[in-house]
Amino acid sequence: MDPHLIEEFYEALERVSGFIYPNEVELQWSVLIVLYPYITGLVAGAFILASLVRVFNVRAMAPAYRLSLLTSLAFLLVAPMPLNAHLGRPERAYEILVTPNPTSAMAMFGFVYLWYLTIVLLLELWFDYRKDIVTLSKTKPAPLRWFYKILTLGVDNLSPRALELDDKIGRAITVVGIPSAVLLHGYVGFIFGSIKAIPWWSTALMPIIFLFSAMVSGIAAVMVIYMFSCWLRGEQVVGKRMDCVDTIARYLLVALVVSFSLEALEMIQKSYEAEEHYDITVVMLEGMLYLSMLVVQVFLGSIVPMLLLGFARIARVHERVRKAVYAISSLLILLGVLAMRWNVVIGGQFVSKSFRGLTTYKLGIAGREGLLSAAIIMVLPFVILAVLVKLFPPWQKEGPDSGEAGL
Mean pLDDT by 10 residues, the chain (407 residues): 55 48 65 90 90 88 93 92 82 79 76 83 91 90 89 89 91 88 80 77 82 92 94 87 93 94 84 66 70 89 94 85 93 94 83 65 79 92 95 68 44
pLDDT of 201: 78
Say if CB 373 and CB 34 are below 8 A apart: no
pLDDT of 254: 94
Alpha helical stretches, state H, 55-159 = 65-78, 81-86, 95-98, 109-114, 123-139, 144-151
CA-nearest of 133, 95, 109, 139 to 33 is 109
pLDDT of 404: 44
- Whether the bond between 143 and the residue before it is cis, its omega within 30 degrees of 0, is yes
pLDDT of 18: 44
Instruction: Give the separation between CA 329 and CA 323, rounded to whole angstroms.
Output: 10
